[in-house]
Every structure is written in structure tokens, then in C-alpha cells.
Structure 1
């Protein structure tokens, strides 16, 4: 038992030494936050491409040429502002009841038709796309996977170190540890990533020539849409409460408005988004 414990201790020390060497190798754009990322970019992009192919097989895309062109136009302006040379693609999924959008690693972006009425105009859409693109260029997905890997390693180690004779006691311990890692590490970190994506997104839309002040109005519209729906308490949610998000955006606006004023060309709010006619 003692020999096993020593071997495990050595492995644990080595693992954390390696993690220490890796930590700081990744830095989020714009904010400069240090990140723990254990997944190499090529693997991340490959996983994103595989997911992209599966989504294309399952989801019905909107073939409205006006909407597709508009989303592509706004998306590419944001993508160019990011400076990331991904193989960018922007697809619209025909789901009027789904208010969402996401960007896979490698620059594959999906927008649901349900979010277009909330966006209202190009700048509102730029708010959404810039936020999702920010997640991709900051490699938030890889960061979350890395944290989950570390958490899983901790749970496995705990199971070995505390070899309880009573199976029920062990089960309860692991359940408590899992709850601790979820509430104490995973979800708060996700909220931090959401705020960071808002910050990077504001920078990107301002650099692309879209009025970043529309981000405040977009989230105010989103709050109205969410009114009346059952909301998950913020401390158990991966997204910040709308009120706090809006306040954080307002506080960051003075830093990005000068970038917007220097943008050339400047699109302002852009065109109003028409009602999609998907066939």
C-alpha cells in the first residue's frame, strides 16, 4: 500500500508539473487572460469539423438567399476583424423557435432563424456572431474540455486514495466531489468565459465597423423575450444573468467606442433583417 501511494504521489507531482509548464502557454485574445488548455489546436479543429459534418446531416438549413447572404456578409466582416485564418463558414438553421447561435472550433458558425427577430438589424446580428466567434478564437471549448479532464483526473485519484470499504460511503463521496467540481469549478468558469466572449465580441464588432452600443439594446431585447420564462438561477447557469451582462457591456463600451469611430468602412446598425422565408 505504501509503495503504491508513493508511486501515485510521484505521478501526481509529475502531472501537476506538466500542467504547470503548459499553463500560461495559451492566452485569450484582447483580454490577455492566461488559460489552461491541454488540447492542441489541430485536434480541436478536427473535432469541430467532425461535429460540423454531423450537424449538416441532421439539421434543416434555411435556403432563403437574402438571409443566407446577410448572415454570410456580417459574419465574414467579424471573421476578418478577428485576424484568424480559419476556413470560415456561416450557416442558417431553419428553427424559428430556437433562439441561439454557436461557432465550432475552426470557424464553422451556425445561426438559428429564431434569433434573427431578436437581432433586428446587422449590428444586432454582429453582436451574436462576434460573441460566438470570440468563443472560437479564445478556444473556450478546448479550455472547458481541459478543465473537465483535470476534474476527471481528480475524481479518479480520490477514488484510489479513499478506498472506502462501504460502497455507499464511497458512492456518496464521489457524488459530493462531482457536485463540488461542477458548481465550484466548471460552471463559474463558464460564466467567466461568457463575459470574456462579450468583451472580445464588442472589440470585434467595433473593429468590423458595427456600432457596439447595439449590443446593449440586443441584450435588452433578449431580456424581454426571456421574461415570463422559467429561468435557471445564475449560480447554476453557464450564462450570466441578463442584467449583469448588460451592465458589464455598458462598462466596457468606452474602451471600444474609439475603435468603432476609427473603423473604415463604418456600417453603424446596418440593414434591418427581413423575415426569413425558408423553403
Structure 2
């Protein structure tokens, strides 16, 4: 088997990963799991987190986050989740939040402290809910499953043909898949979630311009400890800010049309 054939295998994986379904922004997706399977996984993971991590008992901050999350989730399509979203504030210095299939949202107190106002926190919650709307979790698990099968097939072909240094070739293929497929998928998901979240927060009555201020603050908080964008699953803050700015006119129009402007206070 010649080296060009290994490259062909990677190209086949990449082609397979770009088929079957469409994201909310029109990108091709591969989704091997049903919505009910994803919801079950989300509920199970959330239940585990609630037993393993400390939950905040601060009533005021909990109500503040709930006020924002409720306004955001009102604009989530019922086809994504038709029930009542469950929100938990975790008592941790982590600057993070997440949303899971099955209507679950987690926010860490470290993020509440970093964000300067309700609009910035709405940008993060909207972003995380955007991942759920676009079923990025389904896509990540599906692509990982397909890559795993493809890598095993390649490994068996190498062994069957007694190719010298097959372990080295497999290691190279693994790096090629990571940089060529998995990392770009991660950056694509983050960019899509940014734009879906921008639209959500605007429709919910939060100022979308504050999303840019948020990422400026995030950049300051992270300092210079960043990998090159090629080797990162997340776009650089400057890239995110540029994408948000390019889509701001549409978001501002949605904000002006919003019938409710929340006044969530901490």
C-alpha cells in the first residue's frame, strides 16, 4: 500500500463527515444518534455532575442566572426541546458554562464574576444553547465513531500487507485526522454557536454588542497562554470578535424588534 493511499483514506473520512444533515447555518453534518439518545445522555451526564460538583446556594445569583436563561430558552425551537429547561449554578471559580441535550444548563460562579452585566452572561448562555440547537454533540460523537472505525480499518490493512513502520504511519494518520478533521470541526462548532447565540440573545432582548465586550474580557482573562489557531479547537478571540462584528447588523435588527427587554439583576 502506497503513502498516497493513506492520504486517500483521510480524504474519505473527511468526505463522510460532511454528509447526511444540515446545521442551522446550512453546513453539512453527520449525525448517527437520535435526539432521544442525545437527550438521555445529557440527562445522565447532568445528574452525575450535580452529585460530583458543589452547587451554589446563593439565592440572588441563582435567580439572576435563571432570569437570563429563561429569556434565552424561550426562543429555542420546540423541535430542539419542548420541556422546561433545568438550570444549575455550580460553585466554582471556573470561567465556564455549558448546555446539554435534554434541556440542561450549567453555569459556574467564576463566569458570573467575570461577566460585567446580564448581556454578557446572555451571550455565553446563548452560545452554549447554540451548541445544543445545532446538535454539535451528536456530530462530534458521530465523527469520532467514524474516525475510530476508519483508523482501525487502516491499521488492519497495514498489518495484512506487512508494511514496515506501520505504527509510525498510524501515529501520523492520527495526527493528520486530529489537525485535518477534529480540530477544524471544533472551531467550526464554536463559530456556529457564536452566531446562533448572537441571534438568540438579540431575540431575547439582550444587547448583542456586549458579546464583543465579553470576548475582549475573555482574551484578557486568558492572557497570552494560547495555542496557534491551527492547533486549537476554539477560534482565537480576535477571530470570534471579527465574526460577531460581521453579523452584528442582523443581530441589532433582531434586538430592536424584541418585544421584551429583560432586567435581570444580581
Give the TM-score of the pair, scaled to structure 2.
0.88
Q: Match of 1:3? A: none
Q: Match of 1:148? A: 144
1:150-187 per-residue CA deviation (whole Å, 9 max, x = no partner) reads: 11111011112222536x71211211111111110001
Equivalent runs, 1:93-242 vs 2, <5 Å: 93-96=90-93, 98-163=94-159, 164-165=161-162, 169-228=165-224, 230-242=225-237
Runs of 4+ in 1 over 6 A off after TM superposition: none
Unaligned 5+ residue runs, structure 2?
Answer: 1-8
Q: Match of 2:86? A: 89
The answer to whether the 8 Å contact 2:68/2:264 transfers is: no
1:84-140 per-residue CA deviation (whole Å, 9 max, x = no partner) reads: 3244111111112x1111111212111111111221111111001000000011110
C-alpha displacement of 1:52: 0.7
Unaligned 5+ residue runs, structure 1?
Answer: 1-11, 275-279
Match of 2:23 among 25, 28, 36: 28
Q: Match of 1:50? A: 44
1:201-228 per-residue CA deviation (whole Å, 9 max, x = no partner) reads: 0000011111101101111111111125
Question: What is the alpha-carbon root mean square deviation over aligned residues?
Answer: 2.1
Give the TM-score of the pair, scaled to structure 1.
0.84
The answer to whether the 8 Å contact 1:87/1:108 transfers is: no
Q: How far apart, in 2, do the equivalents of 1:217 and 1:210 lie?
A: 13
C-alpha displacement of 1:81: 0.9
The answer to whether the 8 Å contact 1:87/1:106 transfers is: no
Distance 1:43 1:92, change over 3 A: same
C-alpha displacement of 1:271: 4.4
2:53 is the alignment partner of 1:59: yes
